[in-house]
Amino acid sequence: MSRQPAISDKMITLKKEDYGSIIEYSVHKLPEEACGLIAGIVDSAGNKQVEKVYFLTNTDNSSEHFSMNPKEQFEAVRDMRTNGFQPLGNWHSHPETLSRPSDEDKRLAYDSKASYLILSLADRENPVLNSFHIEGTECTKEDLIIL
């Protein structure tokens, strides 16, 4: 039985249009996992505001895991720098499972400062998006605000 993640005192804000775009892109990519990066600003309290969502190719073509296209990642980071945004983390979908980090997600989470947004499409009519901080095997749920 897995434990529920602890709740962080930090928050991340995402525009409703970006939330809708993540869902739309993820549904379009079914049955594979969809993935991408998020960028924006961090305030003095450590709260994050997503200003741009990047939609990248899952080069694994898998419904159970993803790898982002390296060329697209490089282009996204270059765009972040051009626009004065900070890399905030990444996002991916879980086509058939809940919105929580899998063991593989935890194993591959190398940046403890990053936000890891996970979209569950297990219930297609009610997608669920959550944000997490992952440090080793420890997972903390971040307060996600959709405006």
Q: 15 in a domain, yes or no?
A: yes
Q: Determine phi and psi for 86, rounding to 5 degrees.
A: -100, 145
Mean pLDDT of 32-48: 96
pLDDT higher than 80, residue 10: no
| Site of tokens 């529920």 | 4
Tell me whether residue 1 is in a domain: no
Instruction: Give the Cβ contact number of residue 33 at 10 Å.
Output: 25
Kindly state whether residue 11 falls inside one of the protein's structural domains: yes
The CATH number covering residue 55 comes to 3.40.140.10
pLDDT at 21: 98
Q: pTM above the 0.85 mark?
A: yes
Q: Is the peptide bond before 31 cis (omega within 30 degrees of 0)?
A: yes
* Residue where the block lists tokens 């995402």: 14
- Pick 103 or 80 by higher pLDDT: 80
Range of the domain at 76: 6-146
